[in-house]
Chain A
């Protein structure tokens, strides 16, 4: 019966990955910006919440009220001051810019908050869980995370599909020059989308801080899982990101069931398998060659 528990826990863990990945999916999938600093921006959200809870003695959930609008502003400025210029220099330049940003953020956090680990208080639902059977218990906090991931991705999907901002964003992603020619302020649209992506990152960061201890270098690790979720789910598909997060979470939990050390490895293996399968499906010639040698 324990594998049932693993699958359930994997799905819930996948909800967290999906939440972490959704901002990334928006920037990577829709805007074609690979934001390597995504995990670090999430960490900034966690540290800001830490400051607020420590100094104002408010609950972590209440701290989201100032953290999220702050992240919107940070995202907007990030796009206007750095990413926009990088994008103009070619698709690979934002990769370098955000890699630099990742390092700068990690060092700044270390400077201000010390390399010690911190964690955020998850409130009363933190330790609470629902005991289904002797082997299966479902933590409330994980259910909340999955529900928020679902809401965020669903909300993003609705915005992209049915609002003017969503149409302008998709149009700009497909052809920025033509979008400008029909009246879309492409730079402002991208800045608004990055603002949303960074706010979602900060939200994910605060949830990350509540589920596990974090230090200034945690950004890069979390980024890796978020990336895997986006790629497994299929680039450009927001619901796919939720599916990708869940596939990743379930494979990690099942891998850990075989051997505790296989937790991360199982996720990476599934990620690579999906990549190989997809590129094989997209390249019939490779498939043909493989068949000939098989």
Chain B
């Protein structure tokens, strides 16, 4: 891909955006994205925009393609077709570690800490991108006070909630502009989920742009500005929190309004 081509597309993309855009112009824009796992097409023709400072929740049943979509944005899967544009720059073919440098970071499903590194080392590894910003070791420990006393412990010895806090803290160490959260409450005790979401609210209030995948519909609707519901790889319903009723989302979730929505 030549730089010239990117530049040209940026210009025309920007112009086309004005009509469809969400006000101030999108931080992240997906254009007709297809992602495959071998023969399985996990994400089909998804177009989506996320504005700076916005929180978008992706909801949908298991296997709807939510995680795959997040992983494609983070660079863990290469899309089969379509484009990913971040901050006006096409990143569709960019390697995952370089996306971190531009400000995208994923907290993967299942936390995926480095088990034999200590909590502090897990956090410090994420300084690899060298992105400057307000998040450092001290800020992360301030935001997640429960992991500070554990900083010298191996990550494998932590409880689920502590691991999740470390995983989010590790992502924050990259000073992201866009934080992608994949099922952060999965497998956690209710009280740990509460703690994680309390920290998330502070991030949202601080202006971090977030796309999160959440199984718990009520929680998704309480934390997000906008909800997008996925079914069989497509986005079948999308709208601001106030515009959508719980019934509409549940119907889309189970595919009851499928023909209408995809028409």
Contacts and interface: CB of A to CB of B under 8 A. Distances in A.
Interface of A: 164, 167-168, 170-171, 174-175, 177-186
Contacts of A171: 114, 117, 121-122, 125
Given A177-B76, A180-B96, A185 B128 contact: yes
A93 B108 CA distance: 29
Most chain B CB within 10 A, of A177, A183, A184, is at A183
Nearest to A188: B97
A180 B101 CA distance: 11
Contact of A184 (B106, B116, B128, B171): B128
Contact of A178 (B95, B114, B127, B130): B114
A170 B97 contact: no
A171 B125 CA distance: 7
26 contacts: A164-B124, A164-B127, A167-B117, A167-B124, A168-B125, A170-B121, A171-B114, A171-B125, A175-B114, A178-B108, A178-B114, A179-B97, A179-B114, A180-B75, A180-B95, A181-B76, A181-B100, A181-B106, A181-B112, A182-B126, A182-B170, A183-B126, A183-B127, A184-B97, A185-B97, A185-B98
Nearest 5 CB-CB pairs, A to B? A183-B129, A183-B100, A180-B96, A182-B126, A178-B112
A143 to B, nearest CB: 35
Interface of B: 74-76, 95-98, 100-101, 105-106, 108, 112, 114-117, 121-122, 124-131, 170-171, 173-174
A181 B127 contact: no
A181 B74 contact: yes
B76 A183 contact: no
B95 A170 contact: no
Contacts, number: 75
Contacts of B97: 179-181, 183-186
Given A167-B117, A174-B114, A184 B125 contact: yes
A164 B116 CA distance: 16
A192 to B, nearest CB: 12
A179 B128 CA distance: 9
A167 B129 contact: no
A166 B28 CA distance: 33
Contacts of B170: 182
A168 B100 CA distance: 15
Given A181-B74, A186-B97, 5 more contacts: A171-B121, A180-B76, A181-B105, A182-B128, A184-B97
A180 B122 CA distance: 13
Contacts of B174: 182-183
Contacts of A179: 97, 114, 125
A185 B95 CA distance: 9
A30 B75 CA distance: 25
A158 to B, nearest CB: 14
Given A181-B96, A181-B106, A183-B174, A164 B128 contact: yes
